[in-house]
Structures are given as structure tokens and as C-alpha cells.
A and B are shown apart, each in its own frame.
Chain A
Amino acid sequence: MYDVIIAGGGPAGLTAGIYAARANMKTLLVRSAFKTSLITTTDLIENYPGFPEGIGGFELVERFTQQARRFGLEIVDDDISSVEKTLVQGLDGWQVNTPSAQYQALSVIISTGTEYAHLDVPGEVEFTGRGVSYCATCDGPFYRDGKVAVVGGGDTAVQEALYLTRFASSVTIVHRRDRLRATGVLQDKAFSNERISFAWNSVVEEIVGDSAVKALRLRDLNDPGKETTLNVDGVFILTGTIPNTSEFRGIVAMDTGGYIIVDPHMKTSAPGLFACGDCIAKLLRQVVTACGDGATASFAAYEYVSGLKGTSYAGLPKAEHEKRGEDHD
């Protein structure tokens, strides 16, 4: 029986793990054996404080993991299939199920992150690695003097489109609206870059090719009967991310996008379930905010578990305890 189970091995989960292990909570971190934290695919992180030269996403997560292990965090590679209420030694707790095991805990911290959204159009799966890509920094150099399309209109899409102009002779941004969502600076750069053109109000209907991608079939949303063909050597799908929260649907409250709704203490709608990192509904999804959420969730879980066990710090009434605002380090 664990005090807390942490679901997810990205920056939020590992930070929660560091705090929980240091608080002497019996903690298990369940890390997917099939998915990696999105940040591990990021080439260079330049806005995480403490690394003035920047640091690779993979290396940063490795460092988090080492730090958590140093404090004795137990980590298993397994995929959570469901979570259900259960009694743990007479106390309200949760059972976390995976295909091969069941784990029980008094609290669970959900930090399962997000994954890249797919278009779910014909050709997407078939041509993955053959012209369909989700990572411009990985695959851009394969398109020297080629023609590529970028699907999406947010910061990531426009930033990557700009990056791709270093290699490709033409980059077409395919976007379902008539304007970009990306921040102003990026828009200015994109509009003034002569290698970038736009297919507005357009969605990809199909990715076509033979041994590799040859073209996109686009549909005009303003004129649904109108279809055009855009000849490209590659397409980068950068329409955004979706939360990895389907296993928790019906158990905790979520917004319409499937992001978990939490209070400022990272509590979900279900007692004993906390959530943090990219999978929660919030303004800014960054490593630094994920870490902050993770620490908060861990401390909130600690207080919750202490309360359940009747070992709450000094036995102070909750309201008074919260008012004191002391440094808990």
C-alpha cells in the first residue's frame, strides 16, 4: 500500500516524486512504457531557469529522474488502464490498474501530460516517416530544397514553419481559419518570409503519395465543394496537443478539451485525486509551470494523506494551519 501513486514520468510527475519522497511518503511513480514525456523530444529548452546555455529536453528529464531516485522514489514502467475507488486498510483510497498489476494508495497524482494531436485523415499513418512528421527539428534537414506544408496556426506551427525555411524552398502553412493564432512577433516573421505561403480556411482531407508523400488534398471550409491539391514532399502536423486523460474520464471533472480541472491546490473533483502539469486546464504549459504544479500537488497529497491517517501536522485545525503560511521546506 502506498501513500501516493504518481501517474506520469514527465517534469510534473518527477517533481511531485521528489517532494513526496523527501517527505517520507511511500511513493510509487508509474511511468508509461509506451509513451515518453513530450518534452523529451524537444531539442533545446532555453527558458527553464538555471541552465543559461539551455538544455535538451531528454537530458533535463534524465536529471529529474536521477534526482528523484536519489531520494528513493520507486519507479515502474507500466501503463495505467483504469483507476477506481477502494478501501485501503479501512481508509478511503484508490486502486490503480495496469495490464499486469494492481496498486493501491491513499492518494493519486495524475501527471500524464499531453500528446501530439493527429489529423486522423487517410494517409497519415501510412506515410509516417515517409513524409508525415510531427517534429520539424528532427526532420527538417531531409527537405533541403524541397516543398513542405505545415498544418496548424499556433505558436509551434509558425515557429516550426520559420525553422523549415532554412531547408525547404517553399513552406505552405495550412490553417483552418483565416488568421493565425500565433503570437504577433512570429506572425510578422512569417508574413515577411518570402518562402512561406498560406492556405487559409483549409483542412487536409487526405495525404497522398506512393513510396513517399507527394501531395495533400485540401478542402476549402468556405466552399466545401472546392478541393485543391497541394504538391509537397513532406507535411508537418503541428495542430497542437491533446491531454492523456481518457483513463480518468468520469472520475474527475474535465473541461471540454479533456483537461482536468483543479483548484489552486491541484485538487481534482475527486477526494484523494490530484493533478498537475500539462494535463490540467491552465494558461501556460511549460516545464517550469509543470514543476511548480507538481510540488504543490505533492504537498497537497501529503496533507490529505496525513489527514486521513490522523497524523496531520500538529493536529491544527485546517483553516488555522492554512492561515499561517509558513515555509514548509
Chain B
Amino acid sequence: MTEEKFVDNPDHTIALTDQDMNEAVAKYPFIVVDCWAEWCGPCKMLGPILENLAKKHAGEIVFAKLDVDKNPETARKYGIRSIPNLMVFKDGQKVGDIVGAMPEAKLMERILALKG
């Protein structure tokens, strides 16, 4: 089933799990993974911002969400201790973390700095 799971140029955020995290990171040349949880207030602030960015930057940057409560393996693997935490992957390699909620402009500035 996984062949059809990830479309080439999503224009919305995609939900990842411990099982398909690696596949997504391998597939997309530049992907931002939002580690969030239901109990995290600031994460809720980032939600609509990322949805908006996913639409705006479709075909250029992929935005994904990972619920750390339901997917503890990935959180453990990457040593996530604060959320929201946006893990940024370029060509399959993790190139940075963006920790904490922030407005869209600042977030994009940080993401573009990592994109190079």
C-alpha cells in the first residue's frame, strides 16, 4: 500500500508514523517534520501556519506532522525533548531542528536558512 501513500507534490501537510517516517524522508528532497502532541498548546498555534505553508510551497517544500504521543520511536530516535519541534531533512539527512512556536515569517526564515 505504501507505494501510493506519498504523492509527489502534496499541497497539504502529510501525517507520518514511526512506520513510514523513513520512507517519507527518503522520498522527499526537502521535508519539514512537525513533532507535536495533543497536550501541547504552542503546537496548536503552528498547525494552521504549517497547513498554509504546505499549500504555498507545494512542489518545493513538504510539510509533515508526527504525533509524538502515538509515535514514540521516532521521538526517541531523534532525542526530541521539546515540542513543537520541526525536524528539517534535506536529501535524506537531518540538517536541523526548529524548536518552539513562532510566527510564519520567522519560521520560513529559519526553514529557508536550512534549505540553503
Q: Does B99 contact A (CB under 8 A)?
A: yes
Q: Does A307 contact B (CB under 8 A)?
A: no
Say yes or no: A41-B103 contact (C-beta < 8 A), given A56-B41, A138-B83. Answer: no
Query: What's the minimum C-beta distance from B99 to chain A, rounded to whole angstroms?
Result: 3
Instruction: Check A141–B103 contact: CB distance below 8 A.
Output: no
- Residue in contact with A142 in the complex, picked from B80, B100, B102, CB distance below 8 Å: B80
Q: Does A74 contact B (CB under 8 A)?
A: no
- List the A side residues contacting B82 at CB < 8 Å: 128-130, 132-133, 135, 138-139, 142
Instruction: Check A77–B40 contact: CB distance below 8 A.
Output: no
Which of A30-38, A89-97, A246-254 binds B? A30-38
Query: What's the minimum C-beta distance from B24 to chain A, rounded to whole angstroms?
Result: 21
How many residues of chain A get a CB closer than 8 Å to chain B's CBs?
A: 31
- List the A side residues contacting B80 at CB < 8 Å: 129, 142
Query: What's the minimum C-beta distance from A13 to chain B, rounded to whole angstroms?
Result: 14
In the complex, A234→B80 CA distance in Å? 12
Instruction: Check A137–B81 contact: CB distance below 8 A.
Output: no
- Residue in contact with B101 in the complex, picked from A40, A44, A132, CB distance below 8 Å: A40
Instruction: Check B79–A34 contact: CB distance below 8 A.
Output: no
Closest to A42 in B: B41
CB within 8 Å of B: which A36-55 residues:
36, 40-44
Closest to A44 in B: B41
- Residue in contact with B102 in the complex, picked from A36, A43, A137, CB distance below 8 Å: A36
Instruction: Check A56–B102 contact: CB distance below 8 A.
Output: no
A contact residues vs B (CB 8 Å cutoff): 32-36, 40-44, 56-59, 77, 128-133, 135, 137-139, 141-143, 211-212, 234
B contact residues vs A (CB 8 Å cutoff): 37, 39-45, 69, 75, 79-85, 97, 99-106
Given contacts A129-B82, A138-B84, 14 further A-B contacts (CB under 8 A): A33-B104, A34-B103, A34-B105, A35-B102, A43-B40, A43-B41, A58-B45, A77-B104, A77-B105, A132-B82, A133-B81, A135-B82, A138-B43, A138-B82
What are 22 inter-chain pairs, A to B, with CB distance below 8 A? A32-B103, A34-B102, A35-B102, A36-B103, A40-B42, A40-B101, A41-B101, A44-B41, A58-B41, A58-B42, A128-B100, A129-B80, A129-B82, A130-B82, A135-B41, A137-B41, A138-B41, A138-B42, A139-B81, A141-B37, A142-B75, A234-B81
